[in-house]
Structure 1
């Protein structure tokens, strides 16, 4: 398998702490506007032998000056070469909101190219792209887009009120929402890996009925879990989410041995 130099891995996985013999690597993809830092609290709380690989996308934190990717094909062209060197061990995918859309496309790409197969994929706070009824807010003008960001309650109000900071991050946020909204495309054959889908009971942006359509995305086991909270239940109800992640990973690792 192709290798990547340490600087490449450091850029994409800034908080990764390599294990000598990991049982599993967990690749975590963020929500729109989010970064690898949102998963940092998980690093010491995952099952023994699980190596956290939180992905840092361009356009945020130390990669702030790199332009954010506006389309999935563009992102996958640079993301897949960063991921595949670390797929020499068993691995799983976790994606939250936008991250779930990216994670699905990573899994589809691996399947299409005959690459290594994830032990499982966790998709949280996102509709399957086959039933995406969310508004494409990335196409709105700046005032309209900012108003919609307030409705998502994911960007702190102090950031939305800070003109200079907002001008700096707005292109990344707009690009991220474009990724999250990406159409399903032509390569929509079901996966053949276990899926675990997490949904917020009070999520105004992803309906519980829509979540049920994830069952069509894999021919393997698909489980749906419901959590208290709205779209960002990962923030408001973090401990139950982490407990579910531990349970899913343990189940998949046990099944693989």
Structure 2
């Protein structure tokens, strides 16, 4: 009886994890402490930052691959890995999207040990684990616009443009009036499409990614860049 109860509990937990994350195939969560233990014991683990390339190159888990969700050659990459490898996905500045195509490519390749790092890079750092930087983007002190002052800011600056760097799915679910969508995952290849003569307000979900994006654009020659303090999360709290 006890063994049957344990088996049922295992099935329920597996289904819960799959439903929570939204992926059709078997993918589990792993916490930062466990991942650190795996890596410290030299277990065969492939860690992948599937978020923004800019964010990954700026700060990542040591040894992690920078492969965004829209990476087109994921199938070839996964087929080159030993079958016994655990594969752990995470993102630096935003939760992994349930529509992440890279993870679907791993599932289509019949990979078994697939995981998502619970809490992403923030949880990894909070656990006291090390990070590395391949191409650090120096942060630039930029003014942040409080959500409650957004309307007034638009009236006082010259030719404002709200640039939302969240995923297309998050953008479609709700965004600020007049905003344009330049996902952080594509900003390094699409930034030239943003007009140089506009006063930019960078918007993300919680205010962390916009700091990186704004600093990047300033270094690319954009003269007037601001960011929304606290991102859309704080904006929504103020609207309630």
What TM-score does the superposition give when structure 1 sets the normalisation length? 0.35
Which structure dedicates a bigger proportion of its chain to helix?
1
- Larger Cα-atom Rg: 2
